[in-house]
Amino acid sequence: MGFNDKKQLVPDAFLSGVLVVSCVFGTLLLIGWLLKYSAYGIDFTDESFYLVWISNPFIYDVSVTQFGFIYHPLYCLLNGDIAVLRQANVLITFGLAWALCYVFLSSLAPEFKESRASMCAAAAGFATSSFILLDSRLFTPSYNSLALQALLVSSIGLVLAEKNAHRKSSIGWVLIGVGGWLAFMAKPSTAIALAVGVLIYLLLSRKYSIRMLALAVFSAVALLLASALLIDGSVLRFVERLQLGVEFGKYLAGGHTFNQILRVDDFQLSGIFNLAIFSIFSVLFTALWSMRLSNKSWLFVGLIISFSFFFITSKFTVGQAQLAFDFGGFKSFLIFGVVYAAVAYVFVFGRFKALYTITASQWAIALIFLVMPHFYAFGTNGNYWQAGGSAAIFWLLAGLALLGPLLRERASWSFVLPLALATQAITAVLLQSGFEQPYRQPQPLRFNTAILELGPQKSQLVLSDAYSEYVSSAVAIAQEAGFEPNMPVIDLSGQSPGVLYAFGAENIGQAWTIGGYPGSLILAQAALARTACWKVANAWVLFEPEGPRSIPAELMTGLGADFPGGYGHVGTWQTAEGAGGYAYRRTQKLYKPLKPQQTMSACLMLRAEVAQ
């Protein structure tokens, strides 16, 4: 059957309606599932660092990422409720993804104005792939979520932007600028990659316009200048913040230098994983082929396959399946099963004649979507393919970009619904694996039963019994010793920003005094050297003797403190198994300053000597 054959290929209204309803319910089930589990669990390292940074970012004057300042108003608006903050992050991410999918699908067949229900349902189904970002069970807003949200905003702008100036086009160019600003606030490295990608896209799509590009640049620069003034009161001080952030990153020796991030990574997929991708492709392509036929029996086959994907989504989201598949670090590559099915469908049924009708703009957007996950990952010290998988929604959209000719031929969105249902099922499988093996937590989230009020805002979270006991013991000991909210603390454990957040403490020097890296001590010294001596002198100390990430106690000597001689030991507790990613329990101790005046004098004297 050729591309120009105008035979009615659309499944009947009943089958189409079933697919639409299934897709809508699949989306709602996934969202509800994530909103429920937003109150479950916590990671005491990375995720707690995000909370500390968001809760009070203005006390730190050195940072490369500014995500804390972007999310701080949201934190205040939600009264610091961790569960609600996570829920807001889920909804913001999905809302942006849905908007992108909607405008993108509309752009593939702009002349087709009917059957918007099918398109909206499909767009929502595809948008659930943005939840792959959350499959490590870190729902709290972070530089990662902000980077993805920035790329979503920029991509909406790229789809809407045109060479000519009109309302929709102008909005698109402004959104490109807004997305670029957000990307810079999340990860400057991502912003740089995005800027290069946008310029290439504009040239390839023939949308390049100096006047309209100036609008995007103006939007980004204006927002960046406003941010600099709001954050530091001065552009020069903001620049100094960034420069010192880069310098401090070099101290840590964590693999974030320019030479280290400018690289090409590879990936390896197991035979079983390749078989899983091929199975998704084969089954999904069969469904698409079946629904192309006018034969009722074959249409029913396509419906059964499509409904099977919905069945998988529903089984996981309502808690009737607790399987955890170990697909390895590149598990997000499962989405390529959908991508391959879409591309194969175009080549088999549209043939090369269909490809000729794809516009330069559509080819260009497919190309930039294909590399967008690398923009997202650029700058990380991990494998770019693995990290970029969190932005797998763009790989999906790159494959869908070729469907334009067939959308126009069929005059219906119904045939893309099996692709959306498969996307939902894959997302559910990946999320379930994350829930069963949550990041640096001891057990599947469904086993958590202990309700604990955590942090200064008393956020209610459902934790494991061991985690609840760990936090409760630490907080009780601190409070009995006279610790009060907003008191400064120096964390020598190297891995406990979550404990300090539970205290309501002020983490001085860094939001997370991170240990375990070659330059952890040097970084801690540099950060605390910029902290007022009176804060250093009055700071309590959290110490983890012989901990795997402990900061050497010599840090205190360099600050003018006599540790532990000048401090009173007020309590000891055991960490929980799994805390910080370690299966064994460790001992942590809390110390209270006994000679703050003496410490402050020594601190001032040492800094005077350094200044001379």
Angle between helices 143-160 and 188-204 (to 10 degrees): 20
CB-based contact 562:595 (threshold 8 Å) = yes
- The Cα-based distances of 276 to 110, 130, 171, 385, 425 in angstroms read 35, 21, 41, 18, 13
User: Which residues, 6+ apart, have CB-to-CB distance to 576 below 8 Å?
Assistant: 442, 464, 466, 467, 469, 470, 585
Q: How many CB atoms lie within 10 A of CB 269?
A: 16
User: Per residue in 140-157, pLDDT tens?
Assistant: 999 999 999 999 999 999
Residue 294 is classified by DSSP as -
298 beta partners: none
Region 393-415: mean pLDDT is 85
For position 560, what pLDDT does the model report?
Answer: 94
Peptide bond into 564 cis (omega under 30): yes
| Rounded Cα distance, 128 and 106, in Å | 18
What percent of the chain has pLDDT above 70? 94
Judge whether residue 551 has pLDDT over 80: yes
User: Per residue in 206-241, pLDDT tens?
Assistant: 999 999 999 999 999 999 999 999 999 999 999 999
For position 326, what pLDDT does the model report?
Answer: 73
Place of tokens 């160019």: 173
Q: Is the pTM of this model over 0.85?
A: yes
Region 545-551: mean pLDDT is 93
300, 306, 308, 310 alpha-carbon torsion, rounded to 10°: -130
| Rounded Cα distance, 531 and 440, in Å | 30
Residue in 189, 178, 137, 184 with CA at minimum distance from that of residue 377: 189
CB-based contact 96:157 (threshold 8 Å) = no
For position 323, what pLDDT does the model report?
Answer: 74
One-letter amino acid for residue 437 of the chain: Q
Residue in 145, 217, 209 with CA at minimum distance from that of residue 178: 217
Region 49-65: mean pLDDT is 95
Across the beta sheet with 587-593, the strand order is 506-507, 488-491, 540-543, 587-593, 567-574
CB-based contact 447:462 (threshold 8 Å) = no
Angle between helices 210-232 and 67-77 (to 10 degrees): 70
What would the two tokens of residue 461 be? 């979270």
User: Which residues, 6+ apart, have CB-to-CB distance to 295 below 8 Å?
Assistant: none
Judge whether residue 559 has pLDDT over 70: yes
| Rounded Cα distance, 60 and 237, in Å | 12
What percent of the chain has pLDDT above 90? 74
User: Which residues, 6+ apart, have CB-to-CB distance to 413 below 8 Å?
Assistant: 105, 115, 118, 119, 122, 407
pLDDT band at 9 (very low <50, low <70, confident <90, very high): very low
Place of tokens 């205190």: 556
> Strand, coil or helix: what is 489?
strand
Asked whether the CA dihedral 312, 426, 444, 324 is positive or negative, the reply is: positive
| Rounded Cα distance, 83 and 527, in Å | 31
